[in-house]
């Protein structure tokens, strides 16, 4: 999408000048460090310093209100910013150092939070100073999330929380967590849920990491045993947490659509070039494997169509895009595109794409197999592929609700 507006080009000039002065050239293209790490610690001091500069500028959360520490940019300006970040191989470390604060919790607090909650929680998220986790799923409440049983009981000026959450990404590193709890056991199951914010630094909360096949894992089991949440740390109204929780999931799906460009540290090596490197070309300069050539071309068209659809959504929203059920379409499309790429990469690399460790494999080859394994979760987390299809059927196509009651 071309930016015809003079003000956008003027903004691009500002961004380029700022990046030239503030982005360390030594970090160019190192966005994979962000994507592959569980946490960014003291050993990543240069990355932390870069994130601090980006956060202070407000550009780690470019469209958030400037009064709370965001960039106050339009969607078109944010798109231009992300394109310029990609152009120089830059990335946004705060996506990791804030946990789910930027992608999910922050946008929901901005929409449902009191002024006090916004003032306390949004600026530290914008600066990447606080790591957030979320407690949704439970051992007996996964896709049927409304069956959750973790309870919160009011005790004077605070809530007492007891129960268990699972798949709580980053909970072992988080300082704060947002949780869905049951506050009315007599109400219909969706009507008795509230959304609470808890300080993780308390003895009533215990986390246990869950190891995954891909190696590093952010997932945890989290146990609440008499944990405390302040009375004024309920997000939204009492027993209306289902509304807040669903809205947060829309923000999560939006973050998984591939619309958040500028976060990967520059463009990845073209899959076409990877194929030429490992398989070779014929006398006409084409990939030697004609069947793979056809499938690779189909994948590239899917990826391009997905990218152009995102740009069209932003353009049609006149620079003021809103999160909606349409995010479910883009989330499923993004999952398919990324999983297709991972499958093709492994096939193209052959036995070199199946290495786990050792000097016989390059870092790119070792990353490929881990990405292939980890990518299987893309169509599960944030609401499974099937759940998204249900949302599309009900909220976009207008088909009748037949799957859940209560």
Active site residues: 252
For 234-246, letters b (16+ CB in 10 Å) and e give: bbbeebbbbebbe
Question: What tokens does 381 get?
Answer: 């987390």
β pairing state of 176-182 and 234-235:
unpaired
> Which long-range CB contacts under 8 A does 334-339 form with residues at least 24 apart?
334/256, 334/257, 334/258, 334/306, 334/378, 335/256, 335/378, 335/379, 335/385, 336/302, 336/379, 337/258, 337/299, 337/302, 337/303, 337/306, 338/258, 338/375, 338/378, 339/375, 339/376, 339/378, 339/379
Instruction: Return the DSSP state at 212.
Output: B
Strand, helix or coil at 290? helix
CB 296 within 8 A of CB 272: yes
Instruction: Note the helical H segments in 317-362.
Output: 326-349
Residue labelled with tokens 């995954």: 212
- Within a 13 Å sphere around the CA of 170, how many CA atoms are in the beta-carbon half? 21
The helix/strand/coil state of 123 is helix
Calculated CA dihedral for residues 403, 401, 314, 22, nearest 10 degrees: -30
Residue 325 to residue 103: CA distance in whole angstroms? 16
Residues 6+ apart with CB under 8 A from 122: 64, 68, 69, 70, 106, 109, 110, 113
């Amino acid at each position: 999408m071309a930016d015809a507006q003079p003000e956008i080009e003027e903004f691009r000039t500002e961004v380029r000048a700022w990046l030239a002065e503030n982005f360390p050239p030594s970090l160019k293209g190192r966005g994979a460090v962000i994507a592959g790490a569980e946490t960014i610690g003291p050993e990543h001091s240069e990355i932390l310093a870069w994130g601090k500069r980006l956060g202070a500028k407000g550009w780690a959360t470019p469209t958030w209100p400037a009064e709370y520490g965001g960039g106050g940019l339009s969607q078109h300006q944010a798109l231009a910013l992300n394109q310029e970040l990609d152009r120089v191989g830059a990335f946004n470390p705060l996506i990791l150092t804030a946990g789910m604060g930027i992608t999910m919790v922050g946008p929901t607090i901005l929409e449902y939070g009191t002024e006090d909650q916004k003032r306390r929680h949004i600026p530290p998220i914008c600066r990447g100073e606080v790591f957030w986790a979320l407690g949704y799923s439970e051992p007996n409440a996964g896709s049927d999330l409304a069956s959750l049983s973790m309870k919160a009981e009011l005790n004077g000026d605070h809530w007492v929380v007891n129960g268990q959450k699972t798949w709580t990404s980053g909970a072992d590193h988080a300082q704060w967590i947002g949780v869905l709890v049951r506050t009315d056991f007599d109400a219909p199951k969706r009507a008795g849920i509230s959304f609470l914010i808890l300080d993780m630094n308390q003895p009533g909360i215990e986390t246990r990491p869950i190891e995954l096949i891909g190696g590093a894992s952010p997932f945890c089991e989290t146990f609440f045993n008499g944990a405390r949440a302040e009375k004024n740390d309920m997000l939204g109204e009492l027993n209306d947490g289902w509304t807040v929780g669903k809205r947060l999931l829309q923000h999560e799906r939006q973050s998984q659509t591939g619309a958040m460009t500028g976060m990967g540290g520059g463009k990845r090596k073209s899959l076409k070039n990877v194929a030429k490197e490992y398989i070779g070309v014929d006398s006409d300069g084409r990939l030697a494997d004609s069947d793979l050539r056809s499938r690779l071309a189909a994948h590239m068209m899917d990826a391009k169509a997905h990218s152009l659809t995102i740009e069209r959504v932003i353009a049609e929203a006149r620079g003021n895009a809103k999160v909606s059920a349409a995010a479910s379409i883009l989330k499923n499309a993004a999952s398919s595109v990324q999983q297709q790429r991972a499958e093709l990469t492994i096939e193209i690399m052959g036995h070199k794409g199946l290495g786990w460790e050792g000097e016989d494999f390059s870092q790119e080859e070792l990353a490929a197999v881990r990405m292939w394994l980890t990518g299987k979760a893309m169509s599960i987390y944030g609401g499974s592929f099937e759940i998204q299809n249900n949302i599309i059927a009900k909220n976009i196509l207008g088909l009748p609700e037949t799957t859940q009651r209560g």
